[in-house]
Structure 1
Amino acid sequence: MAHYRFNNLLGAPYRGGNLCMSGNHLLTSVGNRVMEVDLQMSSSQTLPCENLTEIRCIAVSPTGSHMISFDTDGRALLVNLRKRVVLHHMNFKGKVSHCEFSPCGRSFAVCVGKLVQIWATPTMLKEFAPFRLLRTYGGMYDEATCLAWSPDSRWIIVGSKDLTARIYSANHMEGYVPPTLAGHREQLCYVSFAGAGGDAAYTVSKDGALFEWRLVDEEVDDDVSRRGDKGQRGGRDSLRGGDGVTVRRWRMEGKHFFHMPAKLTCAAYHPGTGMLCAGFGHGVFTLHRLSPGSFEVVHTLSISQQKVSACQWNETGDWIALGCARLGQVVVWEWQSEAYVYKQQGHYFDVNMCAYAPDGSMIATAADDNKVKVWSTATGSCFITFTEHKAPVAAVTFAPSGHAVVSASLDGTVRAFDLMRYRNFRTLTSPEPAQFISLAVDPSGEVVCAGSQDTFQIHIWSMKTGRMLDILSGHQGPVTSLSFSPESALLASGSWDKSVRLWDVYEGRGQTDILPHAHDVLAVAFRPDGKQVAVSTLDGQVFLWNPNDAQLQGTIEGRRDMAGGKVIGDLRSATAKAGKSFKTLAYSADGALLLAGGNGKYVCMYDVDGRALLKKFPLSKSKALDGTIERLDSNRVTDAGPMDLLPASDSEEDDEGYRRGDRGRGAVGSGGPGGNLPGTGSLGGAGSSRSQGLDKKKRPVIRCKHVTFAPTGQGWAASTTEGVMVFTRDNGASFDPTDLGEDVTPNAARRALRHGDARLALLMALRLRGADDDETLVAETLEAVAPDAVASALRDFPTSLLAPLLEAIAERVTKGPHAHLMLRWTRELCVAHGRAIHSAAHGGGGGAGALVGAAAGCDQRLLPALRRLAKAFATLHDDLEQTAEASVFLLDYVCAAPSAVAKA
């Protein structure tokens, strides 16, 4: 029951570091994880592997099969992108500022402090030491910042903070001295080779200076060549003439400058098209066409008012990817058509709450940046953002129909947003100003309730008319949680006054019962059948009550389950504190599981009947967050305090501000770690000054503000410090090997099909499909069974194989020509396995209402397959309808042709 695994991370498309593009895929770093974006499908997926701290840079092999991610401490993970598994890990014992694979893919180069190291690319074979060091180069007086390979993989150009660039040989050359390209007045942020043979180079510095270098032949005196030709590339190939020697030297051919009011922050050059993209600190990026002696401006555009942190071209040079770390924004722009290929922006502050749509296809999020976003669970992308709120949004939920999103905010309004027209169609306010921090919508979608934190009241409105129906008073503290009973006319409200009150909002009888507690109530949740309500209190306990007779059914002690994760204030190790408690609760769709989360690194899953802990899900392993490590690292503590809290250097100040400090500010109902109210500080200006360096270094604490189960029971989501983490059921973990035997083979299934035993053939095909992913055998069996034999094949069919059977039928509806046969399979399946499946398959062509109505009578695991089947039949119906409409006149003509001939 607890086989869930991490699936995706929403709310944070980009948080810093460089960008990588491999084919139609874009790789971005999100904290200590990497997100892969499919630009063709506009979908994103977060890799399950984690670094120990925030990722500093990533690199992808030329074939797109391998990726290396480096965190801030120099630890690296080699990941197989196709299998999404970690192959090897390595500690580089220093901060890696840049990494790049050679064009041939046999090696990669990294900038580690003042050194440049060349490593052989690990193979797919099992090795004791897969990372093999080939070369190490030094000579720089400050840290190396960037590097680039030549097209032939023989040379490396490296830029440094010492205002120079050096060219190293990837292969050993006796007596070779790397030439130094000097002349810049600020540190270099980008270098690149140009030309087919790599005989030209570009260096770009932060002050907006672009230097063009070229390898030229010069004739020097014989005694001068003996002293200096070893320091130039190609010096060993010098040609001796009559009066001197011809050597090859790097010479500056031109200087170009970006005339911008802000400093240059990133740049990327595409040798194939000769285009250079440059990003600046005020959110503007420019495109220039470079040629020998030419510097032509093509475009000057702005994506935000914050600095452009990274930019990267794709292989063909048609798309340019840009990222803004402070806003969590990533954009892919096609410069020739001047159109966006992909555009995503996450929440600037923490996500307070997330909610699933009734059909599980969408997730709505509310955050302290005054925004409500709606994400697609299938693609992981945000497709609409509502910005009407003027203060942090504390709560959000979907209307039962799934066509509207309702949100409550500290600005004193409750707003309803239409998901069909994407507009705010209803704004609900109170007679007196109030800050709403909790929200609930009744199962019919007609009544909306919101609890306030300053007036301690519950306001009730009519969704249809927008008129206020009632104001419930009685609590003596902020109303932190509201929950409607799915089966009865009860509303449960939890408050800091140490009580849970049950209200009858339909009959107007007001308060019906009071459930007293010894500590403040933090969360309240009704079980889906309405026969139990779970209450979380400040002492770390979860109480299970019967709402009908107000009797306590049981207690779950959760304080020790939340223990784990050291914060900076802990002297030795993580301990179970009195403040550990669950801030959010959620029941599964069948009511058998209970999720609980709070100010800790774990989300706990409990068995409701046994009141036992099933599993603890860790939210993050990042050491950049407080509360994730178990023991104190004494090496990171100095006389001035923990090293992680010391002010950052000037070069890291702007980048680390978002990732470490700004992202953790602004919790609802408090001033956040920085002590400021959310939304009061601007995103720039004083917020990025050097005087606030200490505030920026305050580490965000790992916590879970809200958890919710998917209506299908196949997943759940948690609003955490890192974003919205989505967990889905691991089907591989529930595979039963006893279904397979030595006699269950594809040949045996085809033999049974030839002998007329359709049921045995179908059972074998489905079991082999689950184990060996043999899709063709299932399709062959479905299409080979005669229509009259379908009913007998489904007699006494095991329920565990209904979901894969529905999936197979849905796939053949869209891909196969046997539409009538698939309809016969669906009809007989509905007849043989109950009214719930029949109503879900035939109720309105797969509408959300029919599927939700079928949820009460069928296994929750069947709902995704039923939705896919309904969608497949709806698509088939639309195609047939279009074909019939296009052929109606032709049919009329064919039908009328014989009569016309007879009259003639």
Structure 2
Amino acid sequence: MASVMEDPALERHFKGHKDAVTCADFSPNGKQLASGSLDRSLMLWSLAPEACRAFRYVGHGDVVTGVQFSPSGHLVATSSKDRTVRLWTPSMRGESTVFRAHTAAVRSVSFSPDGRRLVTASDDKSVKVWSVGRRRFVFSLSQHTNWVRCARFSPDGRLIASCGDDGTVRLWDTTSKHCVNCFSHSGGPATFVSFTSSGSCIASSGADGSVKIWDLRTNQLLQHYTVRCAGINSFSFHPSNDFLVGGSSDGAVQLLDLLEGRLLYTLHGHQGSVNSVVFSRAGDLFASGGADCQVLMWRTNLDTRSYRDVLQQHGRRSAPDPPPHLTDIHPRGPHLHRPQPAVIQVSPTVADTQSADPHVVELGQPVHGATVSGMLRNPSVMLRNRKNPSLTICDEL
């Protein structure tokens, strides 16, 4: 476990993707890391120090855009530009179920907290909800006027937040199917959206390099960070809700302290855009995936009881902005955060030597876009892949 006086440190790297990494997620038990890529594959990496193998799951006919473990860890969902969603069983057999989810590229996929439903976002301007057990379409949400980049369930499953290229962040009631609120992420497209674990706030990132946090109890903008000149592609809340990690197109990873209201660390490890960042469920690790085909795993110093010691230690290098902050229930107005010139820059100077590149085991069968389209032309059918009988393809739109 990291000392409270240490900066975040690069712990391991994972090399095996043949093209840029687009998405990543930790398993609920913290034993595996999943990543998707422009190379059309899903990869599962073991986090055990002695692990010598990684698994590549092949099946999508185009770029993998989103990945997430189910709450139980028994399934992994992936979305793709091939317009489909796949549900994988993370095992040696490489089994997956696939259904055509949208009429255009699917940009994100996410499980509900109980694992019974999926929410997907697409370039067809819609958000859709699916039954996991029955693999069936449940309902659609359609008020966005441009591509929808991301959609997520609230921690209690009663709300859905979505964002897209129309510059809006929309909040949906899953019971009434109505849009109950709409926030403007001014400055261009909104790239990513997520709830805090308490469900009281949502955040969105933008192509303008900003991160905005809204309090759903007051429907007001609570915090506004402008942390980079390049776009923020992804972010993740620490389980404590006190911190947020973001990845930007200029190759940097940013760690924000939401209680103190400041950009705390800027981490440099990738060569090229950082497309995905995610905290582990325990919050002691976070992973970043980039255009350099790598997944980097970082050990944080946020898993200790007294992180205020770190703030005092670094007081001379990073000065906090004035309130209001995330803990304020009734902020008087937006809190605009500008980059601090003395923010701590962390750049790994020694190559990671703790883990060798693992042997990659290929699983599944590649399915080209034309083949998928042909198979799914007839609704409500179940087909078996002739080359791999364990690969089930279904379409129940």
| Alignment TM-score, normalising by the size of structure 2 | 0.71
User: Partner amino acid for 1:590?
Assistant: S
User: Partner amino acid for 2:291?
Assistant: T
Shift of 1:539: 2.4
Aligned match of 2:75: 404
Aligned match of 1:511: 179
Aligned match of 2:64: 393
Shift of 1:382: 4.4
Per-residue CA distance 1:493-526 (angstroms, 9 max, x = gap): 0101010011122x14332111123222111121
Structure 2 residue 117 is the aligned partner of structure 1 residue 447? yes
Per-residue CA distance 1:571-596 (angstroms, 9 max, x = gap): xxxxx5xxx12111110111111011
Aligned match of 2:235: 585
Aligned match of 1:611: 261
User: Partner amino acid for 1:513?
Assistant: N
Determine the C-alpha separation between the residues in 2 that align with 1:356 and 1:501: 26
Determine the C-alpha separation between the residues in 2 that align with 1:5 and 1:703: 19
Shift of 1:717: 0.3
Structure 2 residue 97 is the aligned partner of structure 1 residue 426? yes
Determine the C-alpha separation between the residues in 2 that align with 1:731 and 1:452: 34
Determine the C-alpha separation between the residues in 2 that align with 1:542 and 1:532: 13
Aligned match of 1:715: 285
RMSD: 2.4
Determine the C-alpha separation between the residues in 2 that align with 1:735 and 1:539: 34
Q: Match for 2:160 among 484, 488, 491?
A: 491
Corresponding residue SS for 1:406: strand
Determine the C-alpha separation between the residues in 2 that align with 1:360 and 1:586: 16
Aligned match of 2:202: 533
Corresponding residue SS for 2:155: coil
Q: Match for 1:5 among 9, 13, 16?
A: 9
User: Partner amino acid for 2:186?
Assistant: A
Kept after mapping to 1: 8 A contact 2:28/2:69: yes
User: Partner amino acid for 1:415?
Assistant: R
Kept after mapping to 2: 8 A contact 1:717/1:725: yes
User: Partner amino acid for 1:363?
Assistant: L
Shift of 1:448: 0.6
Shift of 1:433: 2.7
Determine the C-alpha separation between the residues in 2 that align with 1:398 and 1:530: 20
User: Partner amino acid for 1:710?
Assistant: S
Q: Classify 1:449/1:732 alpha carbon distance in 2 versus 1 (closer, same or farther; 3 Å).
A: closer
Shift of 1:548: 4.0
Q: What pairs with 1:622-771 in structure 2 (closer than 5 Å)?
A: 625=271, 702-722=272-292, 723-729=294-300
Kept after mapping to 2: 8 A contact 1:366/1:394: yes
User: Partner amino acid for 1:368?
Assistant: L
Per-residue CA distance 1:545-588 (angstroms, 9 max, x = gap): 023442211211213xxxxxxxxxxxxxxxx5xxx121111101
Aligned match of 1:358: 28
Q: Classify 1:426/1:549 alpha carbon distance in 2 versus 1 (closer, same or farther; 3 Å).
A: farther
Kept after mapping to 1: 8 A contact 2:283/2:302: no
Aligned residue pairs, count: 301
Aligned match of 2:219: 550
Q: What pairs with 1:158-557 in structure 2 (closer than 5 Å)?
A: 346-379=16-49, 381-420=52-91, 422-430=93-101, 433-453=103-123, 455-505=124-174, 507-519=175-187, 520-557=189-226
Shift of 1:420: 4.6
Shift of 1:393: 0.6
Kept after mapping to 2: 8 A contact 1:3/1:734: no
Corresponding residue SS for 2:144: coil
Determine the C-alpha separation between the residues in 1 that align with 2:212 and 2:46: 34
Kept after mapping to 2: 8 A contact 1:374/1:382: no
Q: Which blocks of at least 5 consecutive residues in structure 1 are unaligned? A: 13-345, 560-575, 626-701, 737-904
User: Partner amino acid for 1:517?
Assistant: H
Kept after mapping to 1: 8 A contact 2:273/2:290: yes
Q: Classify 1:403/1:728 alpha carbon distance in 2 versus 1 (closer, same or farther; 3 Å).
A: same
User: Partner amino acid for 1:3?
Assistant: D
Q: Classify 1:526/1:731 alpha carbon distance in 2 versus 1 (closer, same or farther; 3 Å).
A: closer
Kept after mapping to 1: 8 A contact 2:119/2:153: no
Q: Which blocks of at least 5 consecutive residues in structure 2 are unaligned? A: 308-397
User: Partner amino acid for 2:179?
Assistant: Q
Determine the C-alpha separation between the residues in 2 that align with 1:529 and 1:732: 18
Kept after mapping to 2: 8 A contact 1:524/1:536: yes
User: Partner amino acid for 2:297?
Assistant: V
Determine the C-alpha separation between the residues in 1 that align with 2:260 and 2:161: 24
Tell me which of the two structures has the higher relative contact order, counting C-alpha pairs closer than 8 angstroms and 6 or more residues apart: 2
User: Partner amino acid for 1:391?
Assistant: D
Q: Classify 1:427/1:612 alpha carbon distance in 2 versus 1 (closer, same or farther; 3 Å).
A: same
Task: Give the 4+ runs in structure 1 shifted more than 3 A.
Answer: 379-383, 420-425, 729-736
Corresponding residue SS for 1:604: strand
Per-residue CA distance 1:98-130 (angstroms, 9 max, x = gap): xxxxxxxxxxxxxxxxxxxxxxxxxxxxxxxxx
Shift of 1:374: 0.6
Structure 2 residue 245 is the aligned partner of structure 1 residue 595? yes
Per-residue CA distance 1:666-725 (angstroms, 9 max, x = gap): xxxxxxxxxxxxxxxxxxxxxxxxxxxxxxxxxxxx110010001111110000233000
Q: Classify 1:436/1:735 alpha carbon distance in 2 versus 1 (closer, same or farther; 3 Å).
A: closer
Determine the C-alpha separation between the residues in 2 that align with 1:441 and 1:508: 19
Corresponding residue SS for 2:95: strand
User: Partner amino acid for 1:601?
Assistant: G
Q: Classify 1:398/1:602 alpha carbon distance in 2 versus 1 (closer, same or farther; 3 Å).
A: same
Per-residue CA distance 1:843-863 (angstroms, 9 max, x = gap): xxxxxxxxxxxxxxxxxxxxx
User: Partner amino acid for 1:377?
Assistant: L
Per-residue CA distance 1:768-825 (angstroms, 9 max, x = gap): xxxxxxxxxxxxxxxxxxxxxxxxxxxxxxxxxxxxxxxxxxxxxxxxxxxxxxxxxx
Determine the C-alpha separation between the residues in 2 that align with 1:715 and 1:354: 13
Kept after mapping to 2: 8 A contact 1:501/1:513: yes
| Alignment TM-score, normalising by the size of structure 1 | 0.32
Q: What pairs with 1:848-859 in structure 2 (closer than 5 Å)?
A: none
Kept after mapping to 2: 8 A contact 1:460/1:471: yes
Kept after mapping to 1: 8 A contact 2:107/2:121: yes
Corresponding residue SS for 1:403: coil
Shift of 1:407: 0.2
Determine the C-alpha separation between the residues in 2 that align with 1:469 and 1:492: 17
Determine the C-alpha separation between the residues in 2 that align with 1:392 and 1:492: 24
Determine the C-alpha separation between the residues in 2 that align with 1:504 and 1:355: 26
Percent pairwise identity: 24
Q: Classify 1:733/1:469 alpha carbon distance in 2 versus 1 (closer, same or farther; 3 Å).
A: closer
Kept after mapping to 2: 8 A contact 1:607/1:614: yes
Q: Classify 1:441/1:734 alpha carbon distance in 2 versus 1 (closer, same or farther; 3 Å).
A: closer
More strand by share: 2
Kept after mapping to 1: 8 A contact 2:22/2:64: yes
Shift of 1:460: 1.5
Shift of 1:617: 1.0
Q: Classify 1:732/1:410 alpha carbon distance in 2 versus 1 (closer, same or farther; 3 Å).
A: closer
Shift of 1:533: 0.9
Kept after mapping to 2: 8 A contact 1:532/1:545: yes
Q: Classify 1:382/1:721 alpha carbon distance in 2 versus 1 (closer, same or farther; 3 Å).
A: farther
Determine the C-alpha separation between the residues in 2 that align with 1:424 and 1:504: 34
Determine the C-alpha separation between the residues in 1 that align with 2:192 and 2:30: 23
Kept after mapping to 2: 8 A contact 1:397/1:440: yes
User: Partner amino acid for 1:5?
Assistant: A
Kept after mapping to 1: 8 A contact 2:41/2:56: yes
Determine the C-alpha separation between the residues in 2 that align with 1:715 and 1:426: 30
